[in-house]
Amino acid sequence: MNRRATELDEAANAKPLRHLSQKQLASRLGLSERTIEGWRYRGKGPDYLRLEGRIAYRLADVERFEAESLHRSGAKRCKAAQ
């Protein structure tokens, strides 16, 4: 089996992504890692885990945070987010 086929096979058998790193979260939201750190310090942003000194964000918490942050034009909350 060639290298590319092996990589594709491993990707197909990989577990679905359940956690994001600070870097991945910043990239997903289009923000700097420094902003994410500031949110964590101030108690803002999605809930997070501290695992052996490392920070991780559960995908479910990130998606919930995104849904709760959804607004319509005119500053009305979107019904889908309620």
Residue 10: the pLDDT is 59
The one-letter amino acid code at 63 reads E
Residue 14: the pLDDT is 60
Domains of the chain: 18-81 (1.10.1660)
Give the model confidence (pLDDT) of 8-64 as tens digits.
Answer: 565 556 666 799 999 999 999 999 999 999 999 999 999 999 989 999 999 999 999
Does 1 have pLDDT greater than 60?
Answer: no
Dist CA 66 CA 13 (whole Å):
28
Q: Dump the DSSP string for 5-47.
A: HHHHHHHHHSPPP-EE-HHHHHHHHT--HHHHHHHHHHT-SS-
Does 82 have pLDDT greater than 80?
Answer: no
> Which tokens belong to 42?
């101030």
- Which of 24, 11, 79 is closest to 55 using CA atoms? 24
